[in-house]
Amino acid sequence: MGPLTNRAVIRQVMEKHGFTFSKALGQNFIVNPSVCPRIAEEGGAAPGVGVIEIGAGIGVLTAELARRADKVVCIEIDSRLLPILAETLGEFQNVTIRNEDVMKADLPAIIAKEFPGMEVVVCANLPYYITSPILMSLLEQQLPIRSITVMVQREAARRICAPPGSRESGAISAAVRYYSEPRILFPVSRGSFLPAPEVDSSVIRLDVLSAPAVQVKSQETFFAVVRGAFSQRRKTILNTLSAALGLTKEELRPLLEAAGVSPGVRAEELTLPQFAAISDQLSGRAEP
Ligand code: SAM
């Protein structure tokens, strides 16, 4: 078989197995030969490392990961791809494909069983319809993983990696920075995929922190504050948070002041320590 980035090879494999792309499952496969080796290298696939991949497609990234890492466990929801992957990845002894939805997979159990004593990283060309839920689920579970290296839509990459205080920052960037240090690695044009999507992409890496970036009394309250604060981003923090948290402005104002936050600022101007201080003031109330 020729290279999995070759369009003729892809068409041939698809025809042989009667496979057609599912738009609903975000199936845009990589055909630019330089992209997968770079994701694998910059994502940390190396001797001694175990890789979790999300969404194998026909295995183009899986193969590059398997060439470098000790072991690859790939979670793929589409059972139609299993016979294709058996053929395209036949030469690799260190790849396991699990036919399940990553949002339902028991990742702590998979890591404990498949990667004992190994350093673990996540690498993927993510299905775009579910990018944020997947990233948040990976981070919120506080899995024993070193990093998450993923291809996402370019706009999503900017939002996810936006520094606090920047215009593009939002609930997702604050949540991501609570758990990790994000960075944009490199751009990938839409022509690098088959079929070509309508937008360009970027590969990002989230280096997972050993402990959350700020200490809070209640994570639940912290995330309620972050989500609430960005729910109406043009309004002041006093207005958005009182609406989102069901507090009167009279109740909220002294809490913001005690947290050292001016009631007139907007969410995008706040730093993580300031969100944490607001959260802790709320957690300290008799009825939060
Ligand atoms: N890795 C391949 C590549 O780069 O060419 C395929 C990437 S494609 C953008 C996304 C893949 O994720 C598809 O194979 C799709 O079937 C799979 N997928 C979609 N939703 C999923 C889910 N909830 N859980 C696991 N895999 C999923």
Residue span of the structural domain in which 142 resides = 7-208
Alpha carbon distances (Å) from 69 to 24, 49, 138, 288? 30, 5, 20, 47
Quote the ligand 1 centre to 195 CA distance (angstroms): 13
132 shares its domain with 251: no
CB atoms within 10 A of CB 143: 17
pLDDT of residue 273 exceeding 90, the answer is yes
Q: Give residue ranges with CB within 6 A of ligand 1.
A: 25-30, 54-57, 60-61, 75-78, 101-103, 125, 127, 130
Number of domains in the chain: 2
pLDDT, tens only, 224-254? 999 999 998 889 999 999 999 999 999 999 9
Name the strands in the sheet holding 201-208, side by side, starting at the edge strand that comes first in the sequence: 95-98, 71-75, 49-54, 119-125, 147-153, 201-208, 180-188
- Return the CATH number at 236: 1.10.8.100
pLDDT, tens only, 92-130? 999 999 999 999 999 999 999 999 999 999 999 999 999
Element (H, E) at 193: strand 193-194
Ligand 1 atom nearest the C-alpha of 102 is 24
As a whole number of angstroms, the distance between CA 277 and CA 261 comes to: 9
Domain boundary at 173, 208, 243, which? 208
As a whole number of angstroms, the distance between CA 123 and CA 71 comes to: 12
| Mean pLDDT across 27-45 | 98
Domain boundary at 161, 186, 208, which? 208
Per-chain mean pLDDT for the chain: 95
186: closest CA among 10, 32, 7? 32
| Mean pLDDT across 135-154 | 96
Quote the ligand 1 centre to 28 CA distance (angstroms): 8
| pLDDT on residue 162 | 96
